[in-house]
Amino acid sequence: MGTDRHEKFRHMIDQTLAGGIPVPQQQALREHLQSCVPCQQYRAANHRVVAALGGFSFEVDPSLNAKVSAKLQLQERQIKERGDQATRAGRRRWVVSCVLALMLTTAGAFLDLRLSGLIASVFDLERMHLRQEVVAFWIMPSLCLFLLFPLLPLLSAGGTNRKERNL
């Protein structure tokens, strides 16, 4: 039997250990191993190496788990604190935005009700058109913003919950 043929089967033996070989090759290898002593020895030597790799037992510092656990708790606290700070800052921004939107809406309404006649006469405009434009381009947008801001945190929380449910 040629060396090449042995090489081929030895490669198959290695592949079997590394990750497996297709069924037809397994059958051919089994048949070859029944009659080939050098390849049997080769396979036994490989198995011996693999078994030897299991003959190491590394010592682990018994306090390592406790150290890791303590560090994890500390890290978690820090992450939470950072998160809380970010939430507080976000909430402040949200309140300021809501107040600004409300002030804009109020100012628009005041202009519409009290000053539209005066402005219309000064600039020679039709009062009704001016009032319509103030409502369409000032009061409605700022009112929408005022109503939308409180919903943003709810929408964001809903998205996070959906992601977790999908897991």
Partner 1 sequence: MTLTAGVDSDARQIALGLRQRDLSLLDALVERYQYRLVRYLIYVLGRRDLVDDLVQETWLRVLERGSSYDGRSRFEPWLFAIARNLAIDHLRGRRVVSLDTNDDEKREGLREGPASDAPSPFALAARTEDAQALAHSLQTLEPNYREALVLRFQEELSLQEISVVTGAPVSTISSRIHRGLDMLRSQLEGGSHGNR
Q: Which of residues 63-122 bind partner 1 (CB under 8 A)?
A: 64-65, 67-69, 71-73, 75-76, 79
CA distance 44 to 48: 6
For partner 1, the binding residues in 28-67 under the rule CB under 8 A are 45-46, 48-61, 64-65, 67
Distance in angstroms (rounded) separating the CA atoms of residues 30 and 115:
99
Report the nearest approach of partner 1 to the CB of residue 30 (Å). Answer: 20
In terms of CB distance, is 57 or 124 closer to partner 1? 57
| C-alpha–C-alpha distance, residues 80 and 129, integer Å | 54
Q: Which of 15, 16, 40, 97 binds partner 1 (CB under 8 A)?
A: 15
Question: Measured from the CB of residue 55, what is the shortest distance to partner 1 in angstroms?
Answer: 3
At closest approach, how far in Å is the CB of 56 from partner 1?
Answer: 4
What does the buried/exposed string (b/e) look like for 87-112 if buried means 16 or more CB atoms within 10 Å of the residue's CB?
A: eeeeeeeeeeebeebeebbeebbebb
Count Cα atoms within 13 angstroms, Cβ side, for 145: 18
Choose between 66 and 96: whose C-beta lies nearer to partner 1. Answer: 66
Q: Which CB, 58 or 123, lies closer to partner 1?
A: 58
Structure tokens at 48: 């011996």
Task: Tell me: does residue 157 bind partner 1 (CB under 8 A).
Answer: no
Q: Which residues contact 127 (CB under 8 A, 6 or more apart)?
A: 116, 117, 120
Q: Provide the minimum distance between the beta carbon of 2 and partner 1 in the complex, in angstroms, as a whole number.
A: 21
